[in-house]
Structure 1
């Protein structure tokens, strides 16, 4: 698919987003937890990478039952991270470097410590009772329906004081808001307006496809494909608890608000099959989010044939006005280097930064952080603690950044809240910045190349036939053709190529007869 208006592209079409998990980026005050002032101290690293925007995971006041995704005040700053003055200083420093800032907006649920919920649970007659989803017990007693929390266990919590259950898609400390109530919609849009007025450049919208539930809250159907070892949530198909038609009007209202502020960006977290995923772009007459987040590089096996099919199907699913996006890591997903090894993680970096669309990088992937051992007594993730032994822990992706070989890797002056990766004395920013063959230098080279190439930032994509184990495609725009050849195997592949080598994931000793094991190449070809 070709962008119908490539010369009018907003900043985010050719841009790159960098996700920061604030607890784990830089501690400035010696409590072992990262904070806003710490992020400000490390902005030069982000700017030197060559990205365009920063997305911050939640920084709002929170009891931290789910580490910030349980918000007690949508218009404040969590004291462990700083205060509003620290936020304003960080935003100014980000903008001074020519970068944008996206905040993490969590509209599906609030903390049960939020004043709205405290009022809601105080009485069935309270004006805010209907701001949340309350129901009587089932006729025979127990939860109102069979819905399962994404964290495991029933999605309902009984409140003895008022004799009803409230819905919580995640932890019981995260009560679902009732978006069928117009007052809730007004209040939450006002939250977005508050931060837009303060100068933020957009939002990543958490679990957007959960935001409204089917009328009547019917039971979800049983999943016949569920097997032991999968999450408890997957026992059911979330037919009535997610992706309801009415949610699109909410997304359109958010978009209309954002568009009123100029080139603001909305990224929607949405896990759905391609046909349903694409609906979240909306229509030209009623657009929704700019980028429904695409996690398919995380969710699928790492094979050339499989990824080729993923790319082709995703591209084919997009509406003519939709712009693609890609991600290989996040605060919820296993590290890419842990999944496929460091050599293939270099290939993954090249893939991410050369596919058509807006890529999102996750902090630490530019260092090649791989597997991190989390001792049982250091586990902090409530999802892992509630469903142990099935490999869904998220702590492994939230460990602190390593900045240098000093005490606690330069992240803090005390033991961090989560352990560092074992090889941090050599896998850190300072060490890799001095190593021409490091993952960090590869990321910087790829980002610089992308920025300098119209074909890589805005060009069309054409998948090419290639030998088994190789993924190949061309990017073309404004008189420039760039070819990408990625060997997703651990062996050499015969594939004669021509053109000027712009980048290899290995070194300069390229072989025009083919690709070396675990090698990715970017070539400049004449049109």
Structure 2
């Protein structure tokens, strides 16, 4: 056994502290959660119908991906009206009713905010197209003259996250506009005071309705380096790369300080969480200083491989960076932009992050991936801070890895001519009732993306009440996490064998065996385990346990 390591970090929570410091937050991708009207697309009434299920799971809050009015060219992240509900998802009355019912059950509601870009259908952008070069309307975005004799070349070398150029030319003009994502998503100019004022008004609109917080999309991209200088280096947001003149500029922090002041005008500890693919952790921590945001997604943890040394390093650096600025750490394993971790853990390089999986790629070992995912859940929920669950994770849901190209809708698939498989596989509607068409997702048996046959094994109805199911494992985990206040706790590493993580948090000792061979558990009462433990106290391979 190695020499004992005593690395201790404190969660910054205490009695009466802000709710978001130790919350378990459940992400809902609305179009894939529950369809109430039979059109094959999930909606707000569908979410309301599942609030009792979410309450029984034991979560503290839900985060809704965009439900705003939108052409839906990028799953709703192309917003045409930030203060209205898209008819696809219902009405504003449906939203207010869902919000009220969630609050009645003690569930907070966080909504997505997309401030880097609007939809090209937004009235601001449509007005810009109708006005001349240099107009106030065009100054809300990044319009620039093209290079070349007749402006036929883009203004600079920037590339889109979704593939191809980050510039599109206005037909019949020499001017181009910037879009770090799809051409239907023009980037806003955050040097323009009008843009800043508009988004503060948007915040107030939803805060007055009673929302509890905002998840801020691409939070590290709003401000670009002055002059938009050429850049031919990597620009792949979502891979941990944050260098280049379009990422992590100092000016973003002034924006979030102003937003923090807006939130403080409202009661109830409203919060901001940053989607910022920023490295190292010390730079990410700058987004959660005490006068800026409250949380930032920990993508280093999401990207960590199934390896004890790598995971321990990520946990240590994450907790240390958060403690340095007095902010909680977040722990997230999957979301709507990544291959589900149950499938990633089943790859030959377990935990690696492919940009989508289709039938031509390596197919994960489904059983092994689920086994590791269950163990990872015991690790994640034992850590101090806040945890995010992606819908279906509590069912052990795998990626749809054989979705046919004819059904794909992700713009990254089309802009890269299929080189990137894209994110559709993790966005497939989730199964509620195994024996029904669309597995109970839709009242009419429809599904906007086809569901794989494997989903029949993961229905919530089959798992409810089954003590060995992943759903019941999550329910027990969340209850124990709350009972023992692990989100507020202190992590202390204990000496362990190679390939095993072993630590204390409060009265609980946590053992995670990342090896492909069994290991003997230390003494103590087993409170919960991700796999059966025999009478000899042997923890199987790729399994975890909590001991008291």
Q: Tell me the TM-score normalised to structure 1 length.
A: 0.93
Measure how far apart 1:507 and its partner are. Answer: 3.1
Structure 2 counterparts to residues 127-206 of structure 1, below 5 A:
127-139=136-148, 141=151, 142-206=153-217
Measure how far apart 1:232 and its partner are. Answer: 10
Does the 8 Å contact 1:369/1:421 carry over to 2? no
Measure how far apart 1:364 and its partner are. Answer: 0.6
Mapped pair 1:370 → 2:398: yes
Deviations 1:335-355 (A, max 9, x none): 111111010010111112111
Structure 2 counterparts to residues 436-447 of structure 1, below 5 A:
436-447=467-478
Cα–Cα, structure 1 residues 209 and 237, in superposed 2: closer, same or farther, change >3 Å?
A: closer
Mapped pair 1:333 → 2:338: yes
Deviations 1:35-62 (A, max 9, x none): 1111111111111100000000000000
Measure how far apart 1:186 and its partner are. Answer: 0.3
Measure how far apart 1:391 and its partner are. Answer: 4.8
Measure how far apart 1:292 and its partner are. Answer: 1.2
Deviations 1:235-281 (A, max 9, x none): x9741011100110001111111122130111110111112111111
Structure 2 counterparts to residues 407-426 of structure 1, below 5 A:
407-412=437-442, 413-426=444-457
Measure how far apart 1:6 and its partner are. Answer: 1.7
Between 459-468 and 12-21, report the one with greater CA deviation: 459-468
Does the 8 Å contact 1:221/1:238 carry over to 2? no
Which residue does 2:56 correspond to in 1? 48
Which residue does 1:100 correspond to in 2? 108
Mapped pair 1:428 → 2:456: no
Structure 2 counterparts to residues 66-85 of structure 1, below 5 A:
66-85=74-93
Does the 8 Å contact 1:158/1:166 carry over to 2? yes
- What CA distance in whole angstroms lies between the structure 2 residues aligned with 1:296 and 1:422? 32
Mapped pair 1:277 → 2:300: no
- What CA distance in whole angstroms lies between the structure 2 residues aligned with 1:302 and 1:411? 32
Does the 8 Å contact 1:334/1:394 carry over to 2? yes
Cα–Cα, structure 1 residues 463 and 387, in superposed 2: closer, same or farther, change >3 Å?
A: farther
Provide the aligned length of Structure 1 versus Structure 2.
507
Does the 8 Å contact 1:21/1:57 carry over to 2? yes
- Structure 1's unaligned 5+ residue stretches are none
Mapped pair 1:25 → 2:33: yes
Q: Tell me the TM-score normalised to structure 2 length.
A: 0.89
Does the 8 Å contact 1:220/1:241 carry over to 2? no
Q: 2:389 aligns with which of 361, 374, 395?
A: 361
Q: 2:503 aligns with which of 473, 490, 501?
A: 473
Deviations 1:102-126 (A, max 9, x none): 0000000000100011111211254
Which residue does 2:328 correspond to in 1? 323
- What CA distance in whole angstroms lies between the structure 2 residues aligned with 1:214 and 1:196? 31
Report which structure shows greater RCO (CA 8 Å, sep ≥6): 2
Which residue does 2:252 correspond to in 1? 247
Does the 8 Å contact 1:157/1:167 carry over to 2? yes
Does the 8 Å contact 1:151/1:233 carry over to 2? no
